[in-house]
């Protein structure tokens, strides 16, 4: 089996945010190591390249299973208008990852 997988998380961004007018939702894409659960790569639907770079700095190299710590880092350090959407998208991706890791339900 492949050692990495790609998954997304999404949430609604504020109505006055350019992300909403351009994409409708805030999306985050993650490449995660399935053995260590560490995030290897990140991209998101931010309108500024600096935002994408900063989100990568916040998440790459950290475990997706530690979503409380990831959200705390987002809350402490990311003060853009899509802060809540980013945090919720990370939680959404972490929930999807846990479901995938648990395997098919019986």
pLDDT in tens, 26-71: 899 999 999 999 999 999 988 889 999 999 999 999 999 999 999 9
Ranges of beta strands (E only) in 1-106 are: 4-11, 26-33, 39-44
Please state the domain count of the chain: 1
Does residue 94 or residue 82 have the better pLDDT? 94
- Cα separation, 65 vs 19, whole angstroms: 27
Domain containing 38: what range? 4-102
Rounded Cα distance between 43 and 53, Å, is 8
76: domain CATH number is 3.90.1010.10
Closest CA to 19 of 71, 75, 89, 67: 89
Q: Give percent above pLDDT 90 in the chain.
A: 69
- For the ranges 7-11, 18-22, 46-50, 84-88, the lowest mean pLDDT is seen at 18-22
């Amino acid at each position: 089996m492949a050692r990495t997988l790609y998954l997304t998380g999404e949430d609604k961004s504020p109505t006055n945010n350019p992300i909403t007018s351009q994409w409708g939702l805030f999306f985050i894409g993650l490449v995660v190591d399935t053995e260590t659960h560490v995030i290897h790569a990140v991209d998101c639907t931010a309108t500024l390249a600096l935002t994408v770079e900063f989100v990568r700095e916040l998440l790459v190299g950290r475990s997706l299973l530690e979503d409380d710590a990831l959200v705390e880092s987002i809350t402490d350090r990311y003060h853009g208008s899509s802060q809540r959407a980013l945090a919720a998208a990370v939680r959404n991706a972490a929930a999807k990852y846990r479901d995938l890791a648990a395997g098919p339900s019986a």
